[in-house]
Amino acid sequence: MTATTPGSEQNTAATTENTFIIGTAPDSWGVWFPDDPKQTPWERFLDEVVAAGYKWIELGPYGYLPPDPSRLADELNARALKVSAGTVFTAFHRGKDESKAAWEPARRVAELTAAMGGEHIVVIPAMWRDDVTGEPVENGTLDKDQLNELFAGHNELGKVLRDEYGLKQQFHSHADSHVCSMQEIETFLEGTDPELVTLCLDTGHAEYGGASSAELIRRYPERIGYLHLKQISPEIMKTVREENLTWAAANLAGVMVEPPAGAPDLAEVIELVEGLNRPIFGIVEQDMYPVSSFDVPLPIATRTRRYLCGCGSRTRVA
């Protein structure tokens, strides 16, 4: 796998090898917000990513890592780290006023991601329940007009990211959002342009919503553009469904677990992705906000990398 360094033209994942490239993200160190005293300091995160054996990272929430391109490039180069993607949050289903609010932060993230040589933008839809308190902020289902706004917004975003920044939009279905279940994911894929929107298949969030990651790969191979690798605890998930727990409560209950302790079967997922015969990122993103101690993430991240790299014949960290 060859790539340019952060800050130069672009990290290139496309090689003659059809490699499944394993990386990690700030989320696996308990990071959900740009700034929070409960979160691992960013310098420690970068140092521990290296210690755990990873070479690719996502930027995480904008502002967590230094947003100045020169400084961030220096920090990454000093650790031989490369960027796969940035993350954007949207609420296109809420109409034009809400959509306009997403564009400025989306452009900031796109500019920084492109400057670091990243190729992808992971796009996460707004949740209908608050991600910390669990309180409902809107209806849990979308009507036809809202769905059309959702589709149009993501098509437009995908075109801007492609044409202005050379980036690919990877849509991330999410717990407690309007795109979570198998049917909702399929409806989203059918309503959006495959040239402008592909799927960041988050295996944990898909399982959380009752969707099959393996089936999505089989049915929509051309729409799988990126992966987040995580697992959920079937036992805790049973309680989540029986008691209709919010995502906030489920996360605190430890619904996301260290592989290979949960579901889905990531060995099967990796085998299917390798069968797509094209290079693709699989970013470890184990939700664990807030961590009970800053000493918790590193051993988990190290074991997870070792496990995942042993699952496939073409799975690498670089």
Residue closest to 146 by CA, chosen among 176, 178, 124: 178
Crossing angle between the packed helical segments 42-52 and 69-78, to the nearest 10 degrees: 30
Angstrom distance (rounded) from CA 289 to CA 260: 20
CATH code of the domain containing 93: 3.20.20.150
Residue 12 falls inside a structural domain? no
Is residue 288 in some structural domain? yes
Structural domain contains residue 9 = no
Q: Is residue 2 part of a domain?
A: no
**Structure tokens given for 28:** 């696996």
Domain encompassing residue 163:
20-316
Tokens of 244: 């209709």
Global pTM value: 0.92
Could you tell me if residue 226 is inside a domain? Answer: yes
pLDDT at 135: 86
Amino acid identity of residue 220, one-letter, is: Y
* Omega within 30 of 0 (cis) for the link into 264: yes
Number of domains in the chain: 1
Distance CA 184, CA 9 (A): 37
Helix (H) or strand (E) holding 57: strand 56-58
Average pLDDT per block of 10 residues along the chain, 318 residues long? 41 61 97 96 98 98 98 98 97 85 92 98 93 86 96 96 98 96 98 98 97 98 98 97 92 94 98 96 93 97 97 83
- Phi, psi (rounded to 5 degrees) for 40: -60, 130
- What is the reported pLDDT for 11? 58
Within the chain, what is the greatest distance between any pair of CA atoms?
50
CA distance 5 to 81: 8
Length of the chain in terms of residues written: 318
170 has which bridge partners? Answer: 122, 198
- 3-state secondary structure (DSSP) of residue 314: coil
Q: Is 113 part of a structural domain of the chain?
A: yes
Q: Measure the CA–CA gap between 99 and 119, rounded to whole angstroms.
A: 23
What DSSP element (H or E) covers 241? helix 234-243
6 within a domain of the structure (yes/no) = no
| Torsion angle in degrees (nearest 10) through CA of 306, 307, 310, 311 | -150
Which tokens sit at 61? 């929430």
* DSSP for 147-200, written as a single string: HHHHHHHHHHHHHHHHHHH--EEEE---TTBSS-SHHHHHHHHHHS-TTT-EEE
Cα–Cα distances in Å, from 61 out to 109, 156, 221, 247?
A: 9, 22, 28, 18
Among 169, 178, 243, 234, residue whose Cα is nearest residue 208: 234
Express each pLDDT in 159-212 by its tens digit.
999 999 999 999 999 999 999 999 999 999 999 999 999 999 999 999 999 999
* Assigned domain for 7 exists: no
**177 DSSP β-pair partners:** 127
Sort residue 53 into left (φ over 0), alpha (ψ -120 to 50) or beta: left
- The residue written with tokens 């308190």 in the block is 133
Whole-angstrom distance, CA of residue 297 vs CA of residue 29: 5
Instruction: Report residue 22: phi and psi, to 5°.
Output: -90, 130
pLDDT given for residue 313 in this prediction: 84
